[in-house]
Structure 1
Amino acid sequence: MANVGLALFICAHKVKSDSKWASYLNVLPSFYTTPLFYTEEELVLLKPSPVFEEALLFFRTVARQFVYYLLMIGRNDVYDNTSRRERAGAQPPLLYNSPFTVDNFTFSLYRWAVGTVTTRINLIPSDTARAADGTKKMVGSHLFS
């Protein structure tokens, strides 16, 4: 998923108490009506369609990403508990200087951040911008804010 970095950025700013993005993030919905947030019963309703398998694969991808980053965050404690001599020459874990801990980086938070990114990356047809053939151009919704 190309937007994993943006999802992690959103997670980081959601857990930081002094984030300049806090007021924006706090007005976003707490969940979305997309298959990533469906209950098991709601997912079963998709079963006759090809969307069912796609929804499961997306959920699995998000879950795997979460576990990967959670394990990486867990390495921070291991790194902190090693002696200076053992740390010499060793690189700190990738998310070492992030605000994440194994307690505040939850699947619920990560899923919400992925949902936030995926519901806001769509292009929309412009009322004013036109392609060379006269059709409406697709533009990012951020242009209208």
Structure 2
Amino acid sequence: MAARGRGLVFLPTTPLEINELQYVEDGLGYAFNDRNLLALALTHQSYVNEHPDAPPVSNERLEFLGDSIVGMVVAERIFNGAPELPEGDLTVRRSQVIRKETLAAAARSIGLGNWLVMGTGESTTGGNLRGKLI
């Protein structure tokens, strides 16, 4: 049975065990209120595609939401931190920060790819290191 929270669906059955999620939290230096949400955030669609017995959800919807939140937070920080900059310069700075390469480098720096749950195909081809996926 799925649990609903604020319009998102989280399923209690995940490919990551609770103790593995503790390692993720320790590595990030952050304790999540809902570890099911953390497990969902780390589950790539390729895993779901290869495991028909797994819950039919991946991190794609959370990625959509997260991209919007990151954009908003970065925009607010730049807007408040550089009140002298005109709109065009603010836009350039924001796009430099939220571009895929910059975010992928940040994800690599915390080892995010090591925790992603992926299908065999993605795992064997280095998907956990590819900027597009992390």
Give the TM-score normalised by the residue count of structure 2: 0.32
Structure (1/2) with the larger strand percentage: 1
Structure (1/2) with the larger helix percentage: 2
Higher relative contact order (CA 8 A, sep 6+): 1
